[in-house]
Amino acid sequence: MHHRADHQVPVLIVGGSLVGLSTSLFLGRLGVPHMLVERHSDTSIHPRGRGNNVRTMELFRVAGIEPDIKTAASLLADNHGILQTPTLVGDAGEWLFRHIDPDGALARFSPTAWCLCSQNDLEPVLLAGARRLGGDLRYSHEMETFEQDGDGVTAVVRDRATDERYTVRASYLVAADGPRSPVRNRLGIGQSGPGDLFANVSVTFRSKLLADVVGDRLFICCYLTNPEADGALLPIDNKEHWVFHAPWHPERGETLDAFTEERLTRHIRLAVGVPDLDVEITGKASWRAAERVADTYAVGRVFLAGDSAHEMSPTGAFGSNTGIQDAHNLAWKLAAVLDGWAGPALLETYDTERRPVARATSARASARSVEHSHPGFAPAPGVGGAKRGSILNVVLGYRYLHGAVLGADPDQEVVPDALRLNGDPGTRAPHLWIRRGGERISTLDLYERSLVLLSDARSATDWHTAARRIADADGTRLVSYRFGTELTYAPQDDGPDAAPDWARAHGTTADGAVLVRPDGFVAWRAAGAVPDAEATLRQVVRTLLRTA
């Protein structure tokens, strides 16, 4: 059947929301031809999934679209914190947190920061970026069936505008097709976790007077706790466009039809505390929060990403960010295998690395919903009891204990109690400001298209020559940089941390070396000099890339 396919591509992506579009963007950056099919006619029109955490923004920074995202997010650039209050009238209530980075400490860890950009604003930026890179993205196209064999996947796709069908032959399929994933169901992949947590009806509405009631409290979200009309209020433009999440209880037999415009208008007025507030309902959509993780992320040549792989409570915006980071992890591995510098077994590490992160993160998300008393959430016993701690530990500090890493400590927790980005194998590599060829960049900007070896120009071991020989002889995408030669420090100030020692920051010595993956995670670290750098490094690379 595949010999008669109408289209042949290395990768077929099913689903064109945040995760599917991110997969397309990351594959495009790596030069991997692909096709994306999405059953809807266009990108999302509903303002949801607005919190893009610092790790996600690091990925978008390297992918070259951070400035475009900040432009799309400009309306909410001054919004910070989560307010919890029984009414917006007066100054009642308290801030659950006022600023996500109140003392500016994040700048020590990252070259970027959180960004508040709603899904309906972010998706067009991702779409434009993916298309600029040559992605074949098809909206109003739905994959109906697929079959896989030892060499690839054959899919039947229907053009919903013309009702015409065509076949696509791909080496790999990425299913970013949402929480009810037809692909996951077709593969028979089960899910584990507590399941449904709560449900909400999300309402978009216009109100010109609400901005006066809110005043200078430019929040990300406000939890309104009137027991007769609780809910969550979110600004879209801080002026007249808003979103309200009202609790919905289908488990009590409550239907979606019961949420009439009249009921929603009364609910919003009562929740805000202004009986005659002008409210014009402009849209309504239901959603259910759940905590579930797929029992495996891959079967053969088909991979799950995003909500098809995991669902988690919306508090903290962990779900979409985890999905985007799934896409990034998978993209470099697909590129390496398709380009022939990694063995197919490297793709097995996608599940090994990402599934434990989803389990730990989803538990933290539920715990955060409990902590914030998310409207409509009455947790069952045992749900939401995970450790809470700093959000940075979850978004930046997670570790790959097994997979395409050598020397990771398997006794560590996937999400540690403290943020330690000190070059340990399996952690996101440290951020330092440097100069390369006169350009001031972050060390994180070095990592995208290849393995990167960091060493010191003063090292007693010639790691640099060893890496270049391996790249030339084995065809491995491996780039070497030496501090003191190709790289120099470029501090922001003249303080005590102005010229950090790269080796100390990466947990090694001037005679050692650090190997970083294309996704910015430390793959391996040598503590000091070795007798035969080339033999040592070649064995490490072959083991990591599954070419040994």
Residues 359, 459 within the same domain: no
Q: Which of 356, 385, 414 is the last residue of a domain?
A: 385
Within-domain flag for 494: yes
Residues 445, 315 within the same domain: no
Residues 354, 469 within the same domain: no
Within-domain flag for 538: yes
Give the distance, in angstroms, between the CA of residue 39 and the centroid of all CA atoms in the same chain: 22
Residues 22, 117 within the same domain: yes
Domain of residue 166: give its range. Answer: 2-73+113-189+294-385
Query: pLDDT digits over 224-276, tens only?
Result: 999 999 999 999 999 999 999 999 999 899 999 999 999 999 999 999 999 99
Residues 371, 453 within the same domain: no
In what order do the strands lie in the sheet containing 94-97? Answer: 94-97, 82-85, 221-224, 231-235, 241-248, 191-206, 280-294, 310-311
CATH, residue 476: 3.40.30.120
User: Do the strands 451-456 and 513-516 form a parallel or antiparallel pair, or are they unpaired?
Assistant: antiparallel
Four-CA torsion 306, 406, 446, 412, nearest 10 degrees: 60
Nearest Cα to Cα of residue 48 among 106, 117, 100 = 117
Question: Residue 368: exposed, middle, or buried by beta-carbon count in 10 A (0-12, 13-18, 19+)?
Answer: buried
Beta carbons within 10 angstroms of residue 460's beta carbon: 11
SS3 content of the chain, % helix, strand, coil (to 5): 30, 25, 40
Q: Rounded to the nearest 5°, which phi and psi values hold at 69? A: -65, -40
Residues 23, 117 within the same domain: yes
Query: pLDDT digits over 77-131, tens only?
Result: 889 888 999 999 988 889 988 887 777 788 899 999 999 888 889 999 999 999 9
Residues 535, 447 within the same domain: yes
Residues 40, 135 within the same domain: yes
Q: Which of 328, 362, 385 is the last residue of a domain?
A: 385
Predicted TM-score (pTM) of the model is 0.93
Question: Residue 225: exposed, middle, or buried by beta-carbon count in 10 A (0-12, 13-18, 19+)?
Answer: middle
Within-domain flag for 27: yes
Task: Give me the pLDDT at residue 314, please.
Answer: 77
Beta carbons within 10 angstroms of residue 448's beta carbon: 20
Per-residue H/E/C for 270-312 = HHHCCCCCCCEEEEEEEEEEEEEEECCCEECCEEECHHHCEEC
DSSP state, 468? H
186: its two tokens: 């077709």
Residues 65, 154 within the same domain: yes
Four-CA torsion 318, 418, 97, 495, nearest 10 degrees: -120
CATH, residue 178: 3.50.50.60
How many whole angstroms separate alpha carbon 25 and alpha carbon 3? 28
Residues linked to residue 219 through DSSP beta bridges, in sequence order: none
Task: Give me the pLDDT at residue 50, please.
Answer: 74
Within-domain flag for 205: no
289: its two tokens: 């929060």
Task: Give me the pLDDT at residue 1, please.
Answer: 46
Query: pLDDT digits over 338-357, tens only?
Result: 999 999 999 999 999 999 99
Q: Tokens 């389990």: give the residue.
A: 359
Residues 311, 369 within the same domain: yes
How many whole angstroms separate alpha carbon 330 and alpha carbon 252? 40
Nearest Cα to Cα of residue 35 among 65, 15, 49, 58 = 15
Within-domain flag for 377: yes
Residues 328, 447 within the same domain: no
| 72 in Cβ contact with 125 (< 8 Å) | yes
Within-domain flag for 201: no
Q: Which of 347, 363, 385 is the last residue of a domain?
A: 385
Nearest Cα to Cα of residue 414 among 346, 370, 358 = 358
Residues 66, 145 within the same domain: yes
Within-domain flag for 409: no
Residue type, 365: A
Tens-level pLDDT at each residue, the chain (548 residues): 445 899 999 999 999 999 999 999 999 999 999 999 999 988 877 776 678 999 999 999 999 999 999 999 998 888 988 899 999 998 888 998 888 777 778 889 999 999 988 888 999 999 999 999 999 999 999 999 999 999 999 999 999 999 999 999 999 999 999 999 999 999 999 999 988 888 889 999 999 999 999 999 999 999 999 999 999 999 999 999 999 999 999 989 999 999 999 999 999 999 999 999 999 999 998 888 889 999 999 999 999 999 999 999 876 678 899 999 999 999 999 999 999 999 999 999 999 999 999 999 998 887 776 655 656 656 555 555 555 567 888 999 999 999 999 999 999 999 998 899 999 999 999 999 999 998 999 999 999 999 999 999 999 999 999 999 999 999 999 999 999 999 999 876 655 445 579 999 999 999 999 999 999 999 999 999 999 999 999 999 999 999 97
Within-domain flag for 310: yes
Count structural domains, the chain.
Answer: 2
Beta carbons within 10 angstroms of residue 132's beta carbon: 12
Task: Give me the pLDDT at residue 81, please.
Answer: 87
